[in-house]
């Protein structure tokens, strides 16, 4: 035993060597430690990361989206001009998955050079549950697909709205009221719905050849209900398979004449509430690079025997079909649209072929060139062929 220890005992030289090695290791360790982050350093970084994450994962989100467009129009009987500088910012405020506020403003330049500001929509959306959202405020009319889904210029594949789908045409534009929207799977098929109650439209009368007649419908989400009668309506959409959607819309209620075109509204008195009925159907079919969609809307206003502007009823009706093709592996797209708009006034009736070529710089920044062959009452704007160019950017 003793012997063993004596043998194992290192020499002084060896010990000195070991000590030297330990010294070197120690120095290395010190150096490493100096480069290492301390606990405090790590806590500091953690804090910073947490702070940064607050930006990413807050309960309240504020977001801005929207679109803008500029254009040029050259009609047969008019000199070409730059037009429609249009800026539509959308503001979103969201609190978790409970509620969202959506508001879209529209700034546009009028022919006279003034700037117009409109509130396109303003709604508070309450996400009630996975299948229902309650929307209150001024909203785009859920009747059909053009107004609620396609009118923003970066989405619309042509620079113009189809005749009858613009402001005061056959299709309602917006509504002020309450709307319940959502979607649910039904027998393995995707469906969506929107039902609403709102103030409804107002009617415009015209004094011509010694009598009053209905001139137009303003279905633009009035902030008050002058006739006290609500309008009810909605749309139901079915997607039998991915790529195809078919929708049916209707709305019904009462509407009253509240203004006279180029006349004195003060003359109106005791105007009768008229029946107001809208029917519509739309479809959208996507097959590879092809897209075919179409839409029909009919608005019927009943007659009234009461009031200054007592007159028979009238019907507005319009439909369009639009086909587009995105060339494979390129940014070019070709589009064609046919529209037939019938109103109670010959001067407004119009059939139109619109042909266009689009260059998609990106999917939200588009240059559009189009030519419209318009056929209407000769001598009217509705009969003028037009060339249109538009640049649209959705952000």
Partner 1 sequence: MKILNRKYLLTVGLLGFSIMVLGLGSSVSLASDFPEAGDFVRGSKAWSENCMRCHSMRSPSDLRDDQWVTTVFHMRVRAGLTGQETRDILTFLQASNAPIDNSAGDVEPVSKEKIAQLSGGKIYQRNCMACHGANGKGVLPGMRDFTDKTGRLTKTDAQLLNNIINGFQSPGSSMPMPPRGGNAQLSNDELAAILSYIRQEFSK
Residues near ligand HEC (CB under 6 A) are: 65, 90, 104, 149, 152, 155, 394
What mask, x for binding partner 1 by CB under 8 A, covers residues 111 to 140?
A: --------------xxxxxxxxxxx-----
The partner in contact with residue 230, picked from ligand HEC, partner 1, none with C-beta cut-offs of 5 to 8 angstroms by kind, is: none
Residue 351 touching partner 1 (CB under 8 A): no
> Contacts with partner 1 in 176-205 (CB under 8 A)?
181-185, 190-194
- Tell me how far CA of residue 348 lies from CA of 77, 79, 147, 239, in angstroms: 17, 22, 20, 35
Residue 4 CA to residue 240 CA, distance in Å, equals 91
Whether residue 136 contacts residue 179, with contact meaning beta carbons closer than 8 Å, is answered with yes
Judged by CB under 8 A, the number of residues near partner 1 is: 63
- Tell me how far CA of residue 233 lies from CA of 103, 190, 195, in angstroms: 22, 21, 6
Whether residue 203 contacts residue 301, with contact meaning beta carbons closer than 8 Å, is answered with yes
CB of 102 to partner 1, least distance (A): 6
- If we measure between CA atoms, which residue out of 253, 258, 206 comes closest to residue 234? 253
The partner in contact with residue 52, picked from partner 1, ligand HEC, none with C-beta cut-offs of 5 to 8 angstroms by kind, is: none
* Alpha carbon 60 to chain centroid, angstroms: 22
Conformation bin of residue 210: beta by default, left when phi > 0, alpha when psi is -120 to 50: left
The partner in contact with residue 55, picked from ligand HEC, partner 1, none with C-beta cut-offs of 5 to 8 angstroms by kind, is: partner 1
Residue 108 touching partner 1 (CB under 8 A): no
Residue 349 CA to residue 336 CA, distance in Å, equals 20
Which residue among 83, 84, 148, 380 contacts partner 1 (CB under 8 A)? 148
CB of 190 to partner 1, least distance (A): 8
Residue 91: Cβ within 10 Å count? 15
User: Residue 65 or residue 124: which is nearer to ligand HEC going by CB?
Assistant: 65
> Contacts with partner 1 in 288-317 (CB under 8 A)?
288-291
User: Residue 162 or residue 376: which is nearer to partner 1 going by CB?
Assistant: 162
The partner in contact with residue 200, picked from ligand HEC, partner 1, none with C-beta cut-offs of 5 to 8 angstroms by kind, is: none
User: Residue 121 or residue 212: which is nearer to ligand HEC going by CB?
Assistant: 121
The partner in contact with residue 192, picked from ligand HEC, partner 1, none with C-beta cut-offs of 5 to 8 angstroms by kind, is: partner 1
- Tell me how far CA of residue 315 lies from CA of 272, 318, 333, in angstroms: 18, 10, 36
Using CA atoms in the order 265, 270, 275, 277, what is the torsion angle rounded to 10 degrees?
Answer: 30
- Tell me how far CA of residue 44 lies from CA of 8, 39, 57, in angstroms: 51, 9, 20
Whether residue 110 contacts residue 86, with contact meaning beta carbons closer than 8 Å, is answered with no
> Contacts with partner 1 in 218-237 (CB under 8 A)?
237
What mask, x for binding partner 1 by CB under 8 A, covers residues 247 to 286?
A: -------------------------------------x-x
Burial class (CB in 10 A: 0-12, 13-18, 19+), 209: exposed
> Contacts with partner 1 in 42-101 (CB under 8 A)?
55-57, 59, 61, 63, 65, 92, 94, 96-98, 100
Whether residue 181 contacts residue 130, with contact meaning beta carbons closer than 8 Å, is answered with no
The partner in contact with residue 104, picked from ligand HEC, partner 1, none with C-beta cut-offs of 5 to 8 angstroms by kind, is: ligand HEC
Which residue among 4, 11, 330, 378 contacts partner 1 (CB under 8 A)? 330
Burial class (CB in 10 A: 0-12, 13-18, 19+), 252: middle
Minimal CB distance to ligand HEC: which residue?
65
β-pair type (202-208, 244-260): parallel
Contact residues for partner 1, defined by CB under 8 A: 55-57, 59, 61, 63, 65, 92, 94, 96-98, 100, 102, 125-135, 145, 148-150, 154-155, 181-185, 190-194, 237, 242-243, 245, 284, 286, 288-291, 326-331, 333, 360, 362-364, 394
């Amino acid at each position: 035993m003793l012997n063993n220890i004596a043998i194992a005992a290192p020499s002084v030289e060896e010990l000195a060597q070991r000590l030297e090695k330990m010294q070197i290791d120690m120095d290395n360790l010190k150096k490493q430690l100096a480069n290492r982050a301390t606990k405090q350093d790590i806590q500091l970084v953690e804090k910073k990361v947490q702070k940064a994450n607050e930006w990413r994962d807050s309960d309240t989100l504020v977001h801005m989206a929207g679109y803008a467009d500029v254009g040029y129009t050259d009609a047969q009987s008019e000199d070409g001009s730059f037009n429609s500088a249009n800026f539509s910012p959308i503001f979103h405020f969201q609190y978790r998955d409970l509620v969202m506020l959506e508001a879209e403003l529209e700034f546009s330049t009028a022919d006279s050079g003034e700037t117009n500001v409109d509130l396109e929509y303003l709604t508070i959306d309450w996400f009630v549950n996975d299948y229902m959202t309650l929307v209150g405020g001024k909203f785009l009319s859920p009747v059909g697909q053009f107004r609620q889904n396609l009118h923003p210029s970066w989405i619309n594949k042509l620079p113009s709205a189809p005749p009858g789908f613009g402001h005061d045409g056959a299709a309602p534009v917006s509504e002020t009221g309450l709307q319940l929207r959502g979607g649910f799977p039904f027998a393995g098929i995707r469906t969506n719905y929107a039902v609403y109650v709102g103030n409804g439209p107002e009617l415009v009368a015209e004094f011509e050849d010694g009598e009053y007649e209905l001139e137009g419908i303003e279905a633009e989400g009035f902030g008050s209900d002058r006739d006290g009668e609500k309008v009810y309506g909605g749309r139901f959409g079915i997607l039998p398979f991915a790529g195809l959607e078919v929708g049916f819309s209707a709305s019904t209620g009462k509407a009253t004449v509240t203004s006279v075109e180029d006349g004195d509204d003060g003359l109106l008195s005791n105007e009768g509430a008229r029946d107001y009925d809208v029917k519509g159907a739309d479809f959208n079919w996507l097959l590879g690079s092809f897209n075919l969609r179409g839409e029909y809307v009919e608005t019927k206003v009943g007659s009234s025997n009461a009031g200054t502007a007592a007159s028979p009823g009238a019907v507005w009706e319009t439909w369009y079909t639009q086909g587009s093709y995105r060339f494979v592996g390129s940014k070019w797209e070709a589009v064609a649209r046919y529209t037939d708009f019938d109103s109670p006034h010959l001067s407004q009736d119009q059939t139109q072929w619109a042909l266009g070529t689009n260059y998609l710089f990106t999917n939200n920044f588009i240059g559009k060139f189009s030519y419209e062959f318009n056929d209407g009452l000769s001598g009217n704007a509705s009969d003028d062929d037009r060339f249109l160019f538009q640049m649209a950017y959705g952000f």
